[in-house]
Amino acid sequence: MWGHFYRNNSFDFCFKKALNLLKDNGKLIIVHNSNKDFIGQLIEFSKKLFKKMEFDVFQDQVLKNRRYEENYFNVKLKAKTYRELAELIQVLIIVPDEIYYKKIEEIIKFLRKNLKKPEFQINQQIIIINKGV
């Protein structure tokens, strides 16, 4: 959900607020799309296809000088057809419906070209920030 804070320019405020709410030795756990692998390709394609779009962003610079751990895991996004997959990925690249569906055939073509089946892994990053005393 951190991408939502980025989109409405409240990332820094919300991040600092979350840290301030932690008790001593508390942990802030953040999970977000790493935008690596296929998602990164999809984002780059979408930037060219749409004049204005949004996607999940986590601003790594907030981790500077902080104690934290990070791990990664994958979640599979799978559909029966490439059209169904194209409809599912709209939540990953935020574009209004009327604009998105005007370009859906181009998205389907991109998916067919780059995927063997209508599925792909979404790489997720887990960041655990420790508030030490």
More confident residue, 126 or 132: 126
Predicted pLDDT at 131: 83
Tens of pLDDT, residues 24-40: 889 999 888 888 889 99
Q: In terms of C-beta distances under 8 Å and separation of at least 24 residues, what long-range contacts does 23-29 make, across chains too?
A: 23/131, 24/131, 24/132, 24/133, 25/130, 25/131, 25/132, 25/133, 26/130, 26/131, 27/128, 27/129, 27/130, 27/131, 28/128, 28/129, 28/131, 29/126, 29/127, 29/128, 29/129
Q: In terms of C-beta distances under 8 Å and separation of at least 24 residues, what long-range contacts does 34-39 make, across chains too?
A: 34/72, 34/123, 34/124, 34/125, 35/123, 36/123, 37/120, 37/121, 37/123, 38/114, 38/115, 38/120, 38/121, 39/92, 39/120, 39/122, 39/123
Mean pLDDT across the chain, nearest whole number?
A: 88
Counting residues of the chain whose pLDDT is more than 70, the rounded percentage is: 92
| Tokens coding 33 | 């799309």
What's the whole-model pTM score? 0.80
Please state which of the ranges 54-63, 95-104, 111-120 shows the lowest mean pLDDT: 54-63
Tens of pLDDT, residues 49-77: 998 887 877 778 888 888 899 999 999 99
CA dist 21 and 39 (Å) reads: 32
CA dist 23 and 62 (Å) reads: 19
Predicted pLDDT at 7: 58
